[in-house]
Amino acid sequence: MIIAKKIFIIILTVLSIGAKAQPVYVSLAGEWGFKMDSANEGEKAAWYNNPSSFFIQKIKLPGTMDDAGYGTPVNVKSETVNHQISEEVLLHLWRKVSYIGPAWYQKEVVIPSGWKNKHIELFFERVIWETKVWVDGKQINEIGESLIAPQTFDLSAFLTPGKHTITLRIDNSKKYDISLGDKDFAHIYTNETQIIWNGVIGKIGLEAKSKTFFTDVQVFDANENAKYINVKASLKNQIEKSSKSKIELSLEHEGIIYGSLSTTVSLEPGHQ
């Protein structure tokens, strides 16, 4: 596909023959039940089996414990010298409250009737550091772990049309040593440039789409003078029968399509 020295939008879609492929999204933004777990006892005590009445505190997501005022109050005055603010205080951001450790979030959701036999993902952005998920008391066999990239969880086997309860355990404790000496200098995990929050501060919701879907898309140019690009994509079929899908690729800049192509592929059940 020919390219020029401009910023392009690459549009890659998969259309299952005879089925609509447009994803459907349900936002989970709003009020969640909440409980701190400073003693790290929640998993052992099976908090994920408790009803909403157990999570009596409330918190809004997207948001953080800092926004809700949950945590240990931070006393900046204790960091002063001779009634003057010390250099250590001035060198980084200060919070009204602070908390490092696991915290639990729970919300009841209603899955639309049109989501039957769909691939359903839980998606959220900007989480520090580790997330575990339960649906109706059953743990998802995935653990989210990221400081930058969105965390996603395949809930297809757990969610059917109707009411369900989603429980999250988010732990903002340091999972790997990314410090320098005794200082946390990594910008993504430090109070020098941002706070080490517990919560979700980006998009949070459920997305349903066809059970034939992309699991990975990568774009390469052949070299810096190349007039074409290489697109590598993995397509997965979760349908219990062979699936025929049409893949469409287009290259767009400022509303102008500079190139496009399409192809049809067949996948056996469970293959990619």
Residue 140: the pLDDT is: 95
Instruction: For residues 114 and 181, state if they share a domain.
Output: yes
Residue 111: the pLDDT is: 94
Residue 17: is its pLDDT beyond 60? Answer: no
How many angstroms separate the CA atoms of 79 and 91, rounded? 12
**DSSP assignments along 204-267, one per residue:** EEEEEE-SEEEEEEEEEESSTT-SBEEEEEEEEE-SSS-EEEEEEEEEEETTEEEEEEEEEEEE
Where is the domain boundary, 209, 228, 256?
A: 209
What CATH number is given to the structural domain containing 190? 2.60.120.260
Range of the domain at 228: 9-21+212-267
Closest CA to 243 of 264, 216, 217, 214: 264
Tell whether 142 is covered by a domain.
yes
Tell whether 250 is covered by a domain.
yes
More confident residue, 12 or 268: 268
Task: Please tell me the least confidently modeled range out of 15-24, 41-50, 126-135.
Answer: 15-24
Distances 67 to 7, 60, 169, 225 between C-alpha atoms, Å: 37, 9, 18, 49
pLDDT, tens digit, 9 for 90 and up, residues 107-139: 999 999 989 888 899 999 999 999 999 999 999
Burial 69-79 (b: 16+ CB within 10 A, else e): ebbeeeeeeee
Tell whether 77 is covered by a domain.
yes
Instruction: For residues 45 and 97, state if they share a domain.
Output: yes
Instruction: For residues 146 and 31, state if they share a domain.
Output: yes
Residue 134: the pLDDT is: 98
Tell whether 2 is covered by a domain.
no
Where is the domain boundary, 209, 227, 247?
A: 209
The band of 270, judged by pLDDT with boundaries at 50, 70 and 90, is low
Burial 84-104 (b: 16+ CB within 10 A, else e): eeeeeeeeeeebeebbeebbb
Mean pLDDT across 197-226: 81
Closest CA to 198 of 36, 39, 75, 85: 36
For the full predicted model, state whether its pTM sits above 0.95.
Answer: no
Residue 21: the pLDDT is: 47
What residue type is 197 in one-letter code?
W
- CB-side neighbour CA atoms (13 Å) of 49: 4
Number of domains in the chain: 2
pLDDT, tens digit, 9 for 90 and up, residues 154-172: 999 999 999 999 999 999 9
Instruction: For residues 104 and 217, state if they share a domain.
Output: no
How many angstroms separate the CA atoms of 139 and 52, rounded? 17
Residue 85: is its pLDDT beyond 80? Answer: no
